[in-house]
A and B are shown apart, each in its own frame.
Chain A
């Protein structure tokens, strides 16, 4: 079955550490997204990428970094500069032509919980 795989499901980070969340999709989608979810805050966009080797900052990119070297992969690194990283992180993707051109559906992974210890 096609889908989006996020790993790990649970991750603990020590103060000052960088950690990387993996996101892989086998849907052949062009666009990929990272969202952060905090209780009562809804989803906030961290980064998105519409094609390989290109990505744009979202609304809360500070303290995060991404890469898009392959169409199917969009890893997110939470750096030590992110002062409050404890949250639920969601990776998502959409087919070609993006959201706003054709109203495409966003497909989400199962999410990753990151906790600072």
Chain B
């Protein structure tokens, strides 16, 4: 079975500092990987996804993530955060050519400190 682990439930970061949100997955077959963001009291929206090809994926709002197959990781990074990045971030995985479900991690809440 597949699983997703987000290693930090909360991450405090000073404004304009860099941030990394960690995500590890477990799967014996090929997967697609996603990062979604949820602003307070709203639904989720896609930040970026890895399907194939280049392991460095760039998304919206200056975020990027790197797929590392050997370490089964898909960490999300931003070089300089802004107060508007305050949100909860979810890593997710779906198995290629398997039943049509996606598995979400438990989320990481990003707190931007002034």
Report which A residues bind B (CB closer than 8 A).
4, 31, 40-43, 45, 48, 50, 58, 90, 92, 98-101, 103, 105-106, 108-111
Contacts and interface: CB of A to CB of B under 8 A. Distances in A.
A108 B101 contact: no
Given A48-B101, A100-B96, 7 more contacts: A4-B43, A42-B90, A99-B102, A100-B101, A105-B46, A106-B36, A111-B42
A63 to B, nearest CB: 20
Contacts of A48: 100-101
Contacts of B102: 99, 106
Contacts of B106: 40-42
Interface of B: 9, 32, 34, 36, 41-46, 49, 51, 90, 94-102, 104-107
B104 A43 contact: yes
B100 A103 contact: no
B43 A42 contact: no
Nearest to B97: A100
Contact of B41 (A31, A45, A92, A111): A111
Contact of B94 (A43, A99, A108): A99
Contacts of A100: 32, 94-101
A40 B8 CA distance: 11
B40 to A, nearest CB: 11
